[in-house]
Amino acid sequence: MNKAQPILPRTYDIIIYGATGFTGRQCIEYLAQHAPDDLRWAIAGRDQRRLSDLAKTYQKPHLYADAQDLDSIDKLCAQTRVILSTAGPFALYSDAVVEACVRHKTHYVDISGETPWIKSLIDRFHEQAKQDQTVILPACGFDSVPSDLGVWLLAQNGEALKEVNVAFTLKGGFNGGTIASALNLAESGEARLLSKRTLLCPSDHQLAEQPKDPRAVQWDHDFGRWLVPFFMGPVNTRIVRRSAALLNYGTEFRYQEWMQMSGGIKARLTLGTLGLFNSGLQSKLGRNLIKLIAPKPGQGPSQKAIETGFVKAHFIHRDDQGVIAELTLKIEGDPGNKVTCESVCEAALALAANEQGDQGGILTPSTALGAKLWQRLEARGWQHLWHNKAVDADL
């Protein structure tokens, strides 16, 4: 990496990069509604016409930036305190942005779930970012904020964590950017790294051996539900395990994710559907079919669908003797869109407000912002409910 550049006066507090995409447009609307009046923010992307139209609508400055034009990326990152990137696939369109952010000591946050790419960021930039107190925060959308903060909340009880499982119930849809990232991961050949269970953990981590990614349906007595492997589990578990290693949840900590179903037949049908999609990703023919029928980049669910979606995540912490604690997160809105937008925008606002303290590196939502991010999201309507517990953990 090039030698670090001197820090120049910053024109902006936050720049949304990838602003003309589906999630980018939602983030613009979110900041327009919820950002402090004195926040200096702007939008950036490569489509000049669409960018100009958005800038006129929201009365915000706009900047040209293209991942293939490194000079434009460098100038972008040099003039803001925080980059909020929704430009995926991130390995293709945001890699140069992260490098420039590290060089200019600019905080960065995105909604990537591309764990092989996140691993490469850790290998290349963690130590420099840590030294410079620059926060690089990937995976700050639906993957993986609810998972990461849910386990973090359990850890606030004070005792070391043992076995933690979460079962999701959700309603929502996909946008084209999410599909494009999954396709790029499959086409790049890096999908082989997905099976490494502690992919994002420091090399000297002391965590116990982690459970393999599940492949079958099972009945769980404590949840009282049929469980199906959660399609985002291979992403979220790696993020949570990195948090566990960095925050020292305990050497016996083990973590897994599921979706809960009301019946065994529905569970098996869901598993079959997920299997078909994953099989499609493995071949060129299958990927072409997915491209044909899936939403295109820039497309996504209707506003009504976004508003009527929801996420419920039921966490159970147990050991050999039984259940130690249970916690449920309840979040209104489509997970891949509204929940993602709230998560990444509030993280960007927290970084702009210097709520991360004096730390830096390639971090996770809980290690970067922890209580500050949870308090912000709670103010946006996120709820947590402790089961069989008279008093919430002191946050």
At 59-93, the pLDDT tens digits run: 999 999 999 999 999 999 999 999 999 998 899 99
Residue 97 has a pLDDT of 98
Is pLDDT at 274 greater than 60 in this prediction?
A: yes
Q: Are residues 117 and 176 in the same domain?
A: no
The answer to whether residue 221 is domain-embedded is yes
Q: 3-state secondary structure string, the chain?
A: CCCCCCCCCCCEEEEEECCCCHHHHHHHHHHHHHCCCCCCEEEEECCHHHHHHHHHHHCCCEEECCCCCHHHHHHHHHCEEEEEECCCCHHHHCHHHHHHHHHHCCEEEECCCCHHHHHHHHHHHHHHHHHHCCEEECCCECCEHHHHHHHHHHHCCCCCCCEEEEEEEEECCCCHHHHHHHHHHHHHCHHHHHHCCCCCCCCCCCCCCCCCCCCCCEEECCCCEEEEECCCHHHHHHHHHHHHHHHCCCCCCEEEEEEEECCHHHHHHHHHHHHHHHHHHCCHHHHHHHHHHCCCCCCCCCHHHHHHCEEEEEEEEEECCEEEEEEEEEEECCHHHHHHHHHHHHHHHHHHCCCCCCCCEECCHHHHCHHHHHHHHHHCCCEEEEECCCCCCCC
Is pLDDT at 1 greater than 60 in this prediction?
A: no
> How sure is the predictor about 266, in pLDDT bands with cuts at 50, 70 and 90?
confident
**Per mean pLDDT, which range of 37-41, 42-46, 272-276, 367-371 is the poorest?**
272-276
Give the distance from CA 142 to its chain's centroid: 5
Greater confidence, 298 or 42? 42
The answer to whether residue 29 is domain-embedded is yes
Q: Are residues 356 and 248 in the same domain?
A: no
User: Domain containing 64 — which CATH number?
Assistant: 3.40.50.720
Which domain does 315 fall in, by range?
145-336+377-387
Give 204-253 pLDDT, tens digit per residue: 999 999 999 999 999 999 999 999 999 899 999 999 999 999 999 999 99
Q: Are residues 203 and 298 in the same domain?
A: yes
The answer to whether residue 6 is domain-embedded is no
Is pLDDT at 57 greater than 60 in this prediction?
A: yes
Q: Are residues 39 and 78 in the same domain?
A: yes
Average pLDDT, the chain: 88
Q: Are residues 160 and 291 in the same domain?
A: yes
CA-based end-to-end distance of the chain = 39
Q: Are residues 381 and 351 in the same domain?
A: no
Residue 88 has a pLDDT of 86
Give 278-308 pLDDT, tens digit per residue: 665 566 776 666 566 665 665 566 777 788 8
Residue 9 has a pLDDT of 74
Percent of the chain with pLDDT over 70: 84
Q: Are residues 105 and 120 in the same domain?
A: yes
Residue 32 has a pLDDT of 97
> How sure is the predictor about 390, in pLDDT bands with cuts at 50, 70 and 90?
very low
Is pLDDT at 3 greater than 80 in this prediction?
A: no
The answer to whether residue 5 is domain-embedded is no
**Per mean pLDDT, which range of 45-54, 67-76, 256-265 is the poorest?**
256-265
Mean pLDDT to the nearest integer, 13-26: 95
Residue 394 has a pLDDT of 42
Q: Are residues 39 and 174 in the same domain?
A: no
Give 148-207 pLDDT, tens digit per residue: 999 999 999 888 999 999 999 998 765 554 565 566 556 666 666 678 999 999 999 999
Is pLDDT at 393 greater than 50 in this prediction?
A: no
Q: Are residues 244 and 185 in the same domain?
A: yes
Q: Are residues 232 and 298 in the same domain?
A: yes
Is pLDDT at 47 greater than 70 in this prediction?
A: yes
Sorted by sequence, the CB contacts under 8 Å of residue 221 that are 6+ apart come out as none
Residue 306 has a pLDDT of 80
Sorted by sequence, the CB contacts under 8 Å of residue 130 that are 6+ apart come out as 359, 360, 361
Residue 265 has a pLDDT of 78
The answer to whether residue 134 is domain-embedded is yes
The answer to whether residue 115 is domain-embedded is yes
Number of domain units in the chain: 2
The answer to whether residue 89 is domain-embedded is yes
Is pLDDT at 118 greater than 50 in this prediction?
A: yes
Q: Are residues 298 and 328 in the same domain?
A: yes
Q: Are residues 159 and 88 in the same domain?
A: no
Is pLDDT at 2 greater than 50 in this prediction?
A: no
The answer to whether residue 3 is domain-embedded is no
